[in-house]
Chains A and B, each alone.
Chain A
Amino acid sequence: MSDLGGFSMFELFKAEAETNCAILNEGLLKLEADPSDLSAIEPLMRAAHSLKGAARIIGVDLAVRLAHAMEDRLVAVQKGDSSLDAVQIDHLLAGTDLLSKLGAIDESELPAFDEAHSGEVDALVAGLRGEAPDGAIAEGGPGSADAAEPSNDPARDEGTVADEPAPHGEESVPEASPEVAVPVAESRPSTPPPTSASPASMKSAPASGAAGSAPRSSTGAGATPAAGSKTLRVNAENLDRMMRLAGEMMIESRRFAVLRESTRRIKRDLEDLEDLVDTVERAGGRSSMNEGPPGRVGALSGGDAADTTEVRSRRSDDPLRRSIESGRRALLQHAADLETMFRRTEEVATSLYHEVLGSRMRPFADGTAGFPRMVRDLAKSLGKQVRFEIVGGTVPVDRDILAKLEAPLNHMIRNCVDHGVEMPDDRRAVGKEEAARVFVEARHHGGMLVVRVGDDGRGIDPERIRRKVVDRGLQTEAVAAGLTTAELLDFLFLPGFSTAGAVTEISGRGVGLDVVQTMVQETGGSLRVETDPGRGATFAMRLPITLSVIRAALVEIAGEPYAFPLSRLERVVKVPREEIRPIEGREQFELDGASVGLLQATAVLDLPVPKTRPEVSNIMVVGGTGRWFGLVVDRFLGEEDLVVRPLDPRFGRVPHIASAALLENGDPLLVVDTDDLVTSVEQMLGEGRLRGVRREVATARRRKRVLVVEDSITVREVERQLLLRLGYEVDVAVDGVDGWNTLQAGGYDLVVSDIDMPRMNGIDFVKTLRQDDRFGTIPVIIVSYKDREEDRLRGMEAGANAYLTKGSFHDESFATMVRDLIGAGTPEESDAT
């Protein structure tokens, strides 16, 4: 197969298949809902026709036959020769599936695919033709398939095709030679006579978008359902580079401002020079300025302004004055030109930037085309009735995010239909409509893309999860009993934890909720489950709109710029010191009658805290009703549109930071994740980790804090409970990386770590910790299943103070060791902070 700008012909077929199968799926579902809508058939015929042509180009006979039969059926329906019953729709959908499956395989798998699906295609073709599969069809090559081609296919370019078997049908397959697909509008020597059906199919080759020679080119990959706009496939990396360069260009264009400033300075210098001339003249007589001794100039500067003007106008015929004047005029012209150029360049650079930016975005609907079909099939196979809605199909979504969304959305929708939606009878019994509502909704909210998937089914029963948690041995009965609904719902994200009684064909394969969560977290987003038992459940993903522009307030924290997305910012206020009053030792001020708790942004972000407090505090008010927080920042810098970029993935998820961006001068800044900030501030205040802007000294009586790093939830819980009982404050982390990140908050008196953990194991974790000055002296206990001497040595070498096996929980050795290392904890009952 020939290459075409990096795409093989097969790649182009894939593009074709993707586009057209989407059209088919969508249209067929529409037809199923309203079989009388004949206008819906035309695009379907075109899609089938295009697929046929594309399949011919790559020489996949199987697909040619199938697409051809599908097209015939559709043509017949449109002509009124046949009607479209449920069976036929199923056939057509099955055909579409097969074609899109073909579009998803690798080129090398083609022969195998051909072999595996040939029988299936024969049956489908027979079904579509309303006949039993017989030898003639089964063996029919493209020639015979073409032979059966109906004459008056309105979607065809030619419009007139001989009714009799077209002999050139045979030629059309060899015609699928590479040169045909070269997308240049040059003559094609090998093109068969225009009466043939094949040229039409050729033109429908995806690459032919540029050909333009066909008076009515059929739907190629270039054509989208929205007529008129042409879509090209661009290498994503190229686009990213273009994006970056366009961004640089915009920044560079703003640097012209520097020139504007320097021009202004030259103008001022020139004026000074003129004044100087005046002064010198007045001092040394009107004839010549050479006589004016330079020493006197300074003494006489600051001469009367009115006088100066007078002198200037009187002496306008002076040669020196003339040359100054002409210099000034030239400079003014120069400044004006510069200004125009500056404006224009900036304008062009900015619109270039926005264009490139826009090209990354695709409507949300592009990523959801397959779902209505999936829901239909799924509901049908389960005997359920489902009304599927997609809200916000036009919401622009970054193409990368869109691609990443597909698998999670797929899973969540399946989950809704399979587990959420009840059987029609059950729904009727509880007074619900028989047809359940399943929805996917996308919208931009606060600089984030929020995608919600939900149903109005039975919801998730927290008690069922609770039982399961105990059954699976994930928690003891006692602990499980104390878990809140939110905590219980978190278990849904544990690998392998499914609420389904049995692993069904529908939800039991593919990705699990844990994978959904991982994906969402990887992109810097969050996933939440909301449930109202008996009335439905909703999964809400909040995803960053990478590379999108947000309006943000810029502030300085610890001498560095940070941005708060305006949409998440309640208020920006300046509060004088006397209006800030402590309540219960915590500082707050009043805003519109509500009390707003104050925190130093530096303290939350773990940055150096300024020593002195200013007379007036600059405060960013964030949060929600009833839980307002004021963050004290160094100063306000202004408001700006920022192009948000994801932080380097190597940083992992950085607490309180959503993304990065560049200032106009090119300096980096960080965008604050206000939601995360509010959540963790609440948490920290609740746990007493952060004392806000408290004044009293609380350290003297504070409880000793222990960090438990352990990937097994069981062991983690055992350790946590044990330590809590001993009177310590406990934080947990699920692996080395998490542990290291948690440790950054500071203030730990002891670290207890496992060895075998994902991402970063215990040994590396302890080594990393020991290498850091801040944690060099924290006592570390390693608790592991490994009880060989060499493991123990390895642990001690890494820097652990003690190495215990997990059996130590049963005797007192763990408790003793902890007490030996950091002293006794405060007994819980006597703790009164």
Chain B
Amino acid sequence: MSIEREPSRDHDRRAESIESDSEAARRLLQRPLSESELATQTREVARPIEEDAGARVSLLLFECGGERFALPGSVVRRVTLPTVVHRVPHRSNAVLRGICNLGGQLVPAADLASLLELDASPEPRDSPHRRMLLLGESPDFWVVEVDEVLGVVRVDPAGLIDPPATVRAARDHLTEHLVELETGSARVERVAMLGGPRLLEALARSLA
């Protein structure tokens, strides 16, 4: 008998301690604040957010066709796993791949590599790193597939470099700036930052 009662008492004790823990937590969180604390907190909340030396731009870094690119975070709505793209007869071309279902919405999907006139991706189509980027504004969304999303960086717009004056290839044409990024070994890598509106316009042209 006693053996059987043991765990149940243990359980009671544990329940008790949980009860008192949550009680303690509640007391802690609901304790009345002193005047000075209140004042400090109020000041803290009321303080305008300090922009660190010039507004920073957040850029999404990704790889496409074996090259690295950056896109302003403001045009990227969502990053998702790749979904099936269905060709649209009489409309699909090298750039316009077709339509795909993103969160219940059918969105035109484009081949970014071919828009950028890059060689086919070295990454296989079924690589686990591949992602889809949802770009633009509702309802004129676009989806492009990239080899890999490398992350988001925040850069100082003052540090953006103008692209070379000689623009010939499409990828240069769509490039708004060059961004210098420090890679691990203190080396600096220059990455093409694609212009959001430029890219969207170029995508829209593939529909025409």
Contact = CB atoms under 8 A, between A and B. Distances in A.
Contacts of A561: 86
B59 interface: no
A373 to B, nearest CB: 36
Contacts of B93: 772, 774
B105 interface: yes
Q: Which interface residue of A558, A670, A741 has the most chain B CB atoms within 10 A?
A: A670
Interface stretch (B12-20, B60-68, B95-103): B95-103
B106 A668 contact: yes
A798 B86 CA distance: 31
A745 interface: yes
B208 A657 contact: no
A467 to B, nearest CB: 38
User: Which bracket fits the contact residues of A?
Assistant: 35 or more
A245 B105 CA distance: 10
B101 A667 contact: yes
Given A648-B108, A650-B207, A668 B87 contact: no
B104 interface: yes
A238 to B, nearest CB: 14
Given A248-B103, A667-B101, A647 B88 contact: yes
B207 A651 contact: yes
B10 to A, nearest CB: 25
Given A607-B89, A648-B108, A670-B88, A662 B101 contact: yes
Q: Which interface residue of B83, B85, B89 has the most chain A CB atoms within 10 A?
A: B89
Contacts of A736: 208
Interface residues of B, number: 26
A647 B107 CA distance: 9
A668 B90 contact: no
B11 interface: no
Contacts of B108: 648, 650-651
Contacts of B207: 650-652
Interface in A123-149: none
B86 A244 contact: no
A236 to B, nearest CB: 13
Interface in A744-797: 744-745, 760, 764, 768, 772-774
Given A650-B140, A660-B99, A560 B87 contact: yes
Nearest to B101: A668
Contact of B106 (A645, A654, A656, A774): A645
Given A660-B106, A737-B208, A647 B86 contact: no
Q: Which interface residue of A248, A605, A648, A668 has the most chain B CB atoms within 10 A?
A: A668
Contacts of B88: 647, 651, 654, 657, 670
A200 B176 CA distance: 65
A647 B99 contact: yes
A772 B98 CA distance: 16
Q: Which interface residue of B88, B94, B208 has the most chain A CB atoms within 10 A?
A: B208
Interface string A649-665: 01110111100101000
Given A645-B106, A648-B106, A657 B89 contact: yes
A4 B172 CA distance: 52
A669 interface: yes
A666 interface: yes
B91 interface: yes
B46 interface: no
Q: Which interface residue of B91, B94, B98 has the most chain A CB atoms within 10 A?
A: B91
A561 B107 CA distance: 17
Contacts of B83: 666-667
Contacts of A247: 104
* A interface secondary structure, majority: mixed
Nearest to A666: B101
A648 B204 CA distance: 12
Nearest to A668: B86
A744 B86 contact: no
B80 to A, nearest CB: 12
A650 to B, nearest CB: 5
B158 interface: no
B106 to A, nearest CB: 5
A764 B104 CA distance: 33
A740 interface: yes
Contacts of B89: 605-607, 654-657, 670
B29 interface: no
Contact of B91 (A560, A654, A660, A666): A654
Contact of A744 (B90, B98, B140): B90
Contacts of A560: 86-87
B84 interface: yes
B205 interface: yes
Nearest to A670: B86
Contacts of A772: 93-94
Contact of B104 (A248, A660, A667, A745): A248
Nearest to A561: B86
Interface in A624-680: 645, 647-648, 650-652, 654-657, 660, 662, 666-670
Interface string A550-568: 0000000010110000000
B1 to A, nearest CB: 26
Interface in B169-208: 204-205, 207-208
Nearest to A657: B89
B90 A605 contact: yes
A756 to B, nearest CB: 17
A667 B87 CA distance: 12
A773 B111 CA distance: 15
A774 B104 CA distance: 33
B208 A648 contact: no
A62 B140 CA distance: 45
Nearest to B140: A650
A232 to B, nearest CB: 24
Given A651-B88, A655-B89, A244 B99 contact: no
Contacts of A248: 103-104
B207 to A, nearest CB: 5
Contact of A667 (B86, B91, B107): B86
Contacts of A773: 94
B104 A668 contact: no
A248 B208 CA distance: 30
A772 B93 CA distance: 8
A478 to B, nearest CB: 34
Contacts of A645: 106
Q: Which interface residue of A248, A560, A651, A660 has the most chain B CB atoms within 10 A?
A: A651
A188 B187 CA distance: 73
Nearest to A645: B106
A773 B94 CA distance: 8
A558 B98 CA distance: 14
A710 B99 CA distance: 30
A660 B108 CA distance: 12
Nearest to A662: B101
Interface in A693-748: 736-737, 740-741, 744-745
Nearest to A660: B106
Contact of A654 (B90, B101, B140): B90
A764 B208 contact: yes
Nearest to B114: A773
B109 to A, nearest CB: 10
A651 B105 contact: no
Q: Which interface residue of B86, B103, B104 has the most chain A CB atoms within 10 A?
A: B104
Interface string A602-619: 000111000000000000
Interface string B117-142: 00000000000000000000000100
For the complex of A and B, 9 pairs with smallest distance between CB atoms: A605-B89, A244-B104, A248-B104, A668-B86, A667-B84, A744-B90, A668-B101, A650-B207, A655-B90
15 contacts: A248-B103, A248-B104, A251-B104, A558-B87, A560-B86, A605-B90, A647-B99, A651-B207, A652-B207, A656-B90, A667-B83, A736-B208, A745-B90, A768-B208, A772-B93
Given A655-B89, A666-B83, A768-B208, 10 more contacts: A244-B103, A647-B88, A648-B108, A654-B91, A656-B89, A667-B83, A667-B86, A668-B85, A745-B90, A774-B93
